[in-house]
Amino acid sequence: MTAIFCIGMAGSGKTTFMQRLNSHLHAKDTPPYVINLDPAVLKVPFHTHIDIRDAINYKKVQKQYNLGPNGAIMTSLNLFSTKIDQVLGIVEKRVETDKIKHVLVDTPGQIECFIWSASGAIVTDALASSMPTVIAYIVDTPRTTSPATFMSNMLYACSILYKTKLPMIIVFNKCDAQDAEFAKEWMTDFEAFQETLRNSEDLNGEGENSSGYMGSLMNSLSLMLEEFYRHLDVVSVSAYTGAGFDEFLEAVDRKKEEYEVDYKAERERILKEREETKLRKKEKDLARLMKDMDINPSKADSDNSAPKAPIDSISDTEDISEDEDEDTVGLVERDEDEGINGGREYNFTDREGEVNDRSEESLQARYKNTVGSDSQIKTKSLEAMEKVLKNSYA
């Protein structure tokens, strides 16, 4: 299975390309799983399995947060990306159950709202982490006949490639209206593009919209992008007639193999670096916290490793010598065995027998002598209760 993100500028024929690709795969008896991430589109000409419009109302977001069109699209994508784990779980389950080979993802025409936003990175990273993922950059061929427009498109494609770090296919759409051979020649033959630059009136100061430095700038940019072109697959299609879609699917298969060989290892390395960076940040925050609390980790470790002095025992049972028998450990000898008189000493010697006499009759007699007889106790209790009542109502 392969995920294909269809990305392109507004008016490049991205939605029509998605419709034709969907129909082409159905004709091959390999129906794709389709996801729509454009919250502002009113109607899509193909069936979608997951649609952002089912979860988020673009108009309400725009009104509630007082946003413009682009801000509302970005906010809708941000809200949708908070549930990307659930979306990914649904996609993986359906792909495994129905043996789906392709997952098609349609994106907003405002490229910056998706590519350069945090939500776009979350969505692409989530899918790329679970399955091979390819970027299909849709180009409006009739509008790229000018070297300046062509170079602008290529610079945009280059920035998307290095932002997403995913395999990319340049798709020159609308080849029924304009043949894309000129663009393929410019990408493969540096001298052909240089010749076009030299013959372009607008870039040499003779045209109406000319700028003196443009020719030199385009020449330098073409030299820089020569290495970029080597890592791309280029196809020309017509979303109107359906031409070139077999070639596009072949390019997708090649990019899938490239993903497994090169990009997967690169993504794993990036994820590992992120985890290491997160761990270092956590350790740094912990060290700052310990510093604020005036805790020295090295001193604490040295204190734990150093041998501690024995604590003075406060009980005879803790001072056990090596010569003592194990059976007598923890036992204390009686005073009589140590030669100490166990009798009590009293200040009033005439009451020694009374105190030592613990019989029940003796205890009752001492209690009555202290408190009084039963009648006296009742009298004292009534007097005390009368006194309390008088004080309460006084």
Q: What string of pLDDT tens digits covers the 394 residues of the chain?
A: 899 999 988 888 898 999 999 999 999 999 999 999 999 888 888 899 999 999 899 999 999 999 998 899 999 999 999 989 899 999 988 888 878 899 999 998 888 888 888 898 899 988 988 889 999 999 999 998 888 888 888 889 988 988 888 899 999 999 999 999 999 888 888 788 888 877 775 554 544 444 557 777 777 788 778 878 887 899 999 999 999 999 999 999 999 888 888 777 777 777 788 788 888 888 888 888 888 777 665 555 555 555 555 544 444 444 555 555 555 544 555 555 555 554 544 444 454 444 445 555 665 666 566 555 555 655 665 666 667 566 655 5
Strands 33-36 and 50-51: parallel
pLDDT at site 296: 64
Helix H or strand E segment including 61 = helix 58-64
Torsion sign across C-alpha atoms 209, 211, 212, 214: negative
Asked if 134 and 258 count as a contact pair (C-beta separation under 8 A), the reply is no
pLDDT at site 18: 93
Q: Provide the pLDDT for residue 149.
A: 87
- Domains (range + CATH), the chain: 2-201+215-262 (3.40.50.300)
Q: Which two structure tokens, joined as six digits, stand for 394?
A: 């006084």
pTM of the full structure = 0.67
Structure-block tokens of residue 341? 């008189």
> What six digits make up the tokens of 383?
């007097």
The pLDDT score that the predictor gives to residue 391 is: 64
**Phi, then psi, of 270 in degrees rounded to 5:** -65, -45
Phi, psi (degrees; rounded to nearest 5) at 7: -125, 140
Strands of 20-132, DSSP E:
33-36, 50-51, 102-106
Q: Which of 165, 166, 183, 161 is nearest to 237 (CA)?
A: 183
Q: What is the pLDDT of residue 352?
A: 47
Q: Which residues of 280-315 are buried (b: 16+ CB within 10 A; e: fewer)?
A: eeeeeeeeeeeeeeeeeeeeeeeeeeeeeeeeeeee
Helix (H, G, I), strand (E, B) or coil at 21: helix
Spatial distance between the Cα atoms of 124 and 165, rounded to a whole number of angstroms: 10
Structure tokens belonging to residue 128: 């790329």
